[in-house]
Amino acid sequence: MKEYYVLTAKDFYDGLKEDKLLGLRCKECGQITCPPLPTCQWCGSRDLEKTELSGRGEILTFTLIDVPPEGFEPHYIVCMVKLDEGPTIMGRLDYDAEKATVKYERSQELIGKKVKVGHVVLPADKYSAGERVVPLFKPI
């Protein structure tokens, strides 16, 4: 059986550990898929090549997590970022959660803010298979 994964989840997360954001460029439509999938998220092609993305983008939306899942500390921010290369990816935002909620108007200043990807390693909990690496976006 032919293997279709050009970029595995392990490769993706290993890249994040080095603050590199890896994605897939479709050889048919030219679009970028990130995080990795076995096919292009835009046209469904399997003709993909691994590519390193800039890791830069802007915040589309965010939410403050006050009541986290068991095993996590409260008051962190999850955001959706539109990358400069096109795809949208979710991650944590390296920003003071208390500051983001002082006033509604103030928190809206985060929308459109430019960010750069890094990473954070989250500890294992009773529901996971171990530590997890997630994108951590830092305002620039």
Under the banding of pLDDT at 50, 70 and 90, the label for residue 113 is: very high
Domain limits for position 105:
56-139
Residue 1 covered by a domain: no
For residues 70 and 121, state if they share a domain: yes
For residues 47 and 69, state if they share a domain: no
Query: Contacts from 71-79 at CB under 8 Å and sequence distance 24+?
Result: 71/123, 71/125, 71/126, 71/127, 72/122, 72/125, 79/110, 79/115, 79/137
Residue 19 covered by a domain: yes
For residues 88 and 22, state if they share a domain: no
For residues 26 and 84, state if they share a domain: no
pLDDT for the residue 101: 66
Under the banding of pLDDT at 50, 70 and 90, the label for residue 85 is: very high
Number of structural domains in the chain: 2
pTM score above 0.75: yes
Summarize pLDDT for 8-19 with one digit per residue, the tens.
999 999 999 999
Model confidence at 32: pLDDT above 60: yes
For residues 133 and 80, state if they share a domain: yes
